[in-house]
A and B are shown apart, each in its own frame.
Chain A
Amino acid sequence: MRVGLFATCLTDTFFPETAKATVRLLERLGCRVEFPLAQTCCGQMHFNTGYAKQAKPLARDYAELFGDYDAVVAPSGSCTGMVRDIHPGLTASPIAARTYELSEFLVDVLEVTEVGAYFPHRVTYHPTCHSLRMLGVGEKPLRLLRAVRGLDLVELPESSSCCGFGGTFAVKNAETSTAMLTDKMHHVIGTAAEVLTAGDNSCLMHIGGGLSRLRSGVRPVHLAEILASTEEEPWSSATR
C-alpha cells in the first residue's frame, strides 16, 4: 500500500522523532511510505481561531498534494479530525475520507494490534479530545498498547476530560487552561507512570510542558514512538 505521511507542522518542526517512528513502524508493517515535501499544515489553528478564510487554501493544497495516495496517515488525531471533518466543508477533498490517525490506520486498515513493539516502562494513556470525539478512535490505541511487550499500562483517572490545550485557547484563556492542565497533571502524577502517551503531540506538549515545569519525572512520549520501539532499536530518551 502506498501511504502518504502527513507529518503535521508541529511534529515536523518540534517532534521529528515521532514522524521518524511513524515511518519506521509503517515500513516494518509492509507499507510504502512517502513524504511529499510540499506539505505544510492542515489549517486547524487558523480555522479554530476564526480564520477560516486563511485555512481554505491550506485545505486545497492538502487535497491536491495527497489526492493520489491510497491512504494518508498522520500521527495526530487532531489534525486528522481537521482534515476529515472540516476540509470537506472548505474544499473538494476526496482524500479526506482516506486520511487516518495512526492507531485507526493500524487497527482498521492494516488490521493489526500486535505490531512487534517492546517498551519496558510503566505507561498511562491520555485519549485526546479530537481522537476520542471527532474521530471516535475508542479503544484502538489501548488495544495497541496492551499488545506491546514489557509495557505496564496503568489507567488514567478521568482520562476523557480535556487537558486544556485547545490550540489558541491555551493562550486566549490562559488561566482556565491552566486550571484544566493542573487537574490533568494531578491525575497523571497519581498513576506513578514513567511515561504519558497520547496520539497528539500538541496535547503532549501542553501536558508535558507542565509536567516538566513541575519536574515531575513523567515523560511525554507519542504513541508512534512506543509502537516503533523494539528490542533491536529501543526508544531512547536522548532523542526527545
Chain B
Amino acid sequence: MVVRNPVTWLGTPAFPKAAKDALANTQLRRNLRNATSTIRGKRAAAVAELPDWERLRAAGAAIKDEVLANLDTYLIRLEAAVTARGGTVHWARDAAEANAIALRLIRATGETEVVKVKSMATAEIGLNEALAEGGVTAIETDLAELIVQLGEDRPSHILVPAIHRNRAEIKEIFQRAMPDVPADLTSEPRALAEAARRHLRRKFLSAKVAISGANFGVAETGSIVVVESEGNGRMCLTLPETLITVMGIEKVVPSWPDLEVFLQLLPRSSTAERMNPYTSVWTGVTPGDGPQAFHLILLDNGRTATLADEVGRQSLRCIRCSACLNVCPVYERTGGEAYGSVYPGPIGAILTPQLVNDPKDKQAASLPFASSLCGACYEVCPVSINIPEVLTHLRARVVENKSSLAPEAIAMRALAWVMADAKRFERAQQAGTLARFLGRDGKITRLPWPGSKWTDVRDVPVPPAESFRSWWRRTRGDQ
C-alpha cells in the first residue's frame, strides 16, 4: 500500500459513502458497540473520582493555549535543551521531509529492521510505507498495532487501532501472518497475548534502532515522554542503540509541573486508568545507559497552518486520548476507517481537514459534516476542545469554497430569503399546506429526491391546515 497523501488514505471515498459501506458490516458494528460502551462507562467512573476534574480540564486547556501562543519560544528552548543533553534535533516541514530524515538516519546505522512503539505522528506521515520503499522494515510492537500490521489492515481508533476486530478475527490473523505462531493457538486473550509476546521479544532483543512518537516534550529540560500500557514502549526506548523520535510540534509543554496536569488528564480520559502503567521519560543520552544516539524530528505537517486559524487552532490542544471517539454516536456506528485517516472520530473530523489544508480535497471536506453536533465529544474532552464549534467553523469554510450555483447553496440562499421576511415566510407556509395532498392519515410516506433521503425510513407529518401564526392572528389579532 503506497501512501501519497499521508494524513488521509488515498482512495478513501467521502464520508457518507465510506460510512454506508462500514454500516453494512454488522460484525464491525457489534465489535465497536461492545468496546465503546464498556470504555465509556469506565471513563465516566474514573473521571468522577476526581473532585477537581473541571479545574484540571481548564488547566490543561490553558497550558496548551499558552504553549500554542508562544510555540516558537518553547520549541527553540526544547531544541537547546535536547542538544545540550547530547541529542540531535531535526526540523521537518512535512511528511516527505520527516520520512527522508528518518530513512537517512537509519541508513547511517546500516540496519534494515527497526522496532516501533505505537505513534500517531509516524502513522500520520506514513513512515512505515516510506521506510519500506527505502528497504527498511518497521515492526510495530504495540499489540493492537501489530494486529493491524499483520492483518494488512488500517487502524480504526487512536488508542486501540484494532478495536474493530474481535478475538476470533485476531486469532485468524495471527495464524495467517505471524511466522512463529504456536500450533495450538486459541482465541483466549491470554493465549493471543502470549503469542504476540514471544513474537515481539525476539524483535526487541535483535533491534539496533527504534522509532517512537512522543506524548509530550518538556521544553525546560528537553525531556521526551511516552505513556503506554504494555511495556513494549519501554523495551523500544531502552534496548536499541539508536532512538529516533517523531514529535508533532504542538506536543511541547513548558515545564514539569505542566506535565503533571496532563499525566492526570490523559490516562483517565483514554483508558479510564488512574495512572497509565508505563511512563517513560528520557533526556538526551546517558553514557552507558539506554540508546547512545538520540534524534528528535520536530514535525509541522500542517500544524502551523492550523495554528493560524483563530477558531480551528484549539484542535492542536489534543492529547490523543480518544475519549471523543468512544462517546461519539457516529464513530460508534461507522468505525474509524470511514474517516479515511489515522485521526478518526470527532477529533479527526476537525483535525484531518486542517492538516490536509486543501479546500479541493472532497474527502477531507466531507469530514466536518460527519457529526450530528450532539456535543458529547466536547463534554468529555480533557482539554475542552469545543469540537462542535470547530465543526461548524470548518463547514463554513467548505461552503465558502463551494460554487454559489451548487443546488444546496441556492436552496440555502432561497430559504434565508424567505426567512428574512415574515410575510414571505407565511406565504411559504401556506404554499406548504398544499403538501397535505401528498399525505394520508396525517403523514407523508414518500417524497421525491432529496426528500427521499428522509422518507426512506421516516414518515413526515402532513403540515396542518392552519399554522400557529394564522391561529394567533385569527384568535388574538395582530397585536
- A58 contacts B329, C-beta separation under 8 Å: no
In the bound complex, how far is the Cα of B412 from the Cα of A39, in angstroms?
18
Q: How far is the CB of A76 from chain B (nearest CB, A)?
A: 13
Are B330 and A173 closer than 8 Å at their CB atoms? yes
Q: Whole-angstrom distance from the CB of B34 to the nearest CB of chain A?
A: 14
Among A134, A162, A178, A212, the residue within 8 A (CB) of B443 is A212
Q: Which of A37, A168, A213 has the most CB of B within 10 A?
A: A37
Q: Check A130 for interface membership: any CB of B closer than 8 A.
A: yes
Contact A209 B454 (CB under 8 A): yes
Asked if A57 is at the interface (CB within 8 A of a chain B CB), the reply is: yes
Interface residues of B, dominant DSSP: helix
Instruction: Give the contacts of A1-19 with B (CB-CB under 8 A).
Output: 7, 9, 11-16, 19
| B459 close to A213 (CB less than 8 A) | yes
Identity of the chain A residue whose Cβ is nearest the Cβ of B19 in the assembled complex: A176
- B314-373: which residues lie under 8 A (CB-CB) from chain A? 329-330, 333-334, 368-373
B431-452 toward A: CB 8 Å interface, digit per residue (1/0)? 0100000000011010000100
Are B416 and A166 closer than 8 Å at their CB atoms? no
**How many chain B residues have a CB neighbour from A under 8 Å?**
65
Q: Is the CB of B468 within 8 A of A11?
A: yes
* Nearest opposing residue in chain A for B479, CB measure: A34
Q: Is the C-beta of A46 less than 8 angstroms from some C-beta in chain B?
A: yes
- Surface stretch bound by A, among B51-59, B86-94, B143-151, B390-398: B390-398
Is B453 in the interface zone, CB < 8 Å from A? yes
Name the A residues within 8 Å of B333 (CB-CB). 176, 179-180
Cα A166 to Cα B368 with chains together (Å): 13
Which residues in A have their C-beta under 8 angstroms from that of B409? 51
CB distance from A77 to the nearest CB of B (A): 11
Residues of A near B16 (CB, < 8 A) are 172-176
Of A54, A129, A170, most B-chain CB atoms within 10 Å: A54
- B458 contacts A210, CB within 8 Å? yes
Residue among B334, B468, B473 facing the most chain A CB atoms (10 A cut-off): B468
A236 to chain B, nearest CB (A): 13
| Any B CB within 8 A of the CB of A41 | yes
Contact A209 B460 (CB under 8 A): yes
The answer, among A9, A34, A43, A132, for a CB contact under 8 Å with B425, is A9
Contact of B458 (CB < 8 Å), options: A39, A130, A206: A206
Residue contact B458 to A49, C-beta cutoff 8 Å: no
Inter-chain contacts of A37 with B (CB < 8 A): 422, 469, 472-473, 478
Would you list which residues of chain A between 200 and 239 have a CB under 8 Å from chain B? 205-206, 208-210, 212-213
Chain B hits for A166, CB < 8 A: 371-374
Interfacial chain B residues near A47, Cβ < 8 Å: 392
CB of B260 within 8 Å of the partner chain: no
A124-144 residues at the B interface, CB under 8 angstroms: 129-130, 132-134
Give CA–CA (A153, B408) in the complex, Å.
Answer: 42
- A169 adjacent to B329 (CB under 8 Å): no
A80 to chain B, nearest CB (A): 14
Cα(A207)–Cα(B247), bound, Å = 45
Do residues A162 and B329 form an inter-chain contact, with CB atoms below 8 A?
yes
**With A7-B468, A171-B450, A213-B457 in contact, do A177 and B372 touch (Cβ < 8 Å)?**
yes
* A35, B469: Cβ atoms closer than 8 Å: yes
Give the number of chain A interface residues (Cβ < 8 Å).
66
Max chain A CB contacts within 10 Å: which of B376, B432, B461? B461
A178 lies within 8 A of B372 (CB): no
A-side contacts of B19, CB under 8 Å:
173, 175-176
Which residues of A have CB within 8 Å of B329?
161-162, 164, 180
A210, B395: Cα distance in complex, Å: 28
Give bound CA distance, A169 to B457, whole Å: 14
Establish whether residues A174 and B453, one from each chain, have CB atoms under 8 Å apart when the complex forms: yes
Given contacts A166-B373, A209-B454, contact A51 B396 (CB under 8 A): yes
Q: Of A61, A130, A205, A210, which one neighbours B375 at CB under 8 angstroms?
A: A130
Check A20 against B471 for contact (C-beta < 8 Å).
Answer: yes
User: What are the residues of chain A within 8 A of B132 when measuring CB–CB?
Assistant: none
Chain A residues within an 8 Å CB radius of B397: 50
Is A110 part of the binding interface, using a Cβ–Cβ cutoff of 8 Å? no
Q: Does B378 contact A (CB under 8 A)?
A: yes
Which of A129, A175, A206, A240 makes the CB contact (< 8 A) with B20?
Answer: A175
The reply to whether B375 and A38 contact each other, CB–CB distance below 8 Å, is no
Residues of B near A38 (CB, < 8 A) are 422
A154 at the interface (CB under 8 A from B): no
Query: B458: which A residues are within 8 A, CB to CB?
Result: 181, 206, 209-210, 212-213
Q: Is B62 an interface residue (CB 8 A)?
A: no
* Residue B231 lies at the interface, judged by CB distance under 8 Å to chain A: no
Q: Say yes or no: A51-B399 contact (C-beta < 8 A), given A178-B457, A181-B457, A209-B458.
A: yes
Expressed in whole angstroms, the minimum distance between the Cβ of B161 and any Cβ of chain A is 22
Which residues of A lie under 8 Å from residue B10 when comparing CB positions? none
Query: B73: CB under 8 A from chain A?
Result: no
Identify the closest chain A residue to B461 (Cβ): A14
Also in contact, A162 and B374, with CB within 8 A (given A34-B479, A50-B395): yes
Which of these, B445, B473, B479, contacts A213 with CB under 8 Å?
B445
Q: Is the CB of B454 within 8 A of A48?
A: no
Question: How many Å from the CB of A60 to the closest CB on chain B?
Answer: 10
Q: How far is the CA of A165 from the CA of B458 in the complex (A)?
A: 11
- Which of chain A's residues 59-79 have a Cβ closer than 8 Å to chain B? 61
Determine if A159 is an interface residue (Cβ-Cβ < 8 Å).
Answer: no
A167 within 8 A of B: yes
- State whether A58 touches B468 (Cβ < 8 A): no
User: Top 4 nearest A-B pairs by Cβ distance?
Assistant: A166-B372, A209-B458, A50-B395, A50-B399
Tell me the A residues contacting B by CB distance below 8 Å: 7, 9, 11-16, 19-20, 34-35, 37-41, 43, 45-55, 57-58, 61, 129-130, 132-134, 160-162, 164-181, 205-206, 208-210, 212-213, 240
* 7 residue pairs A–B, Cβ–Cβ below 8 Å: A20-B471, A48-B373, A50-B396, A50-B398, A51-B416, A181-B458, A205-B460
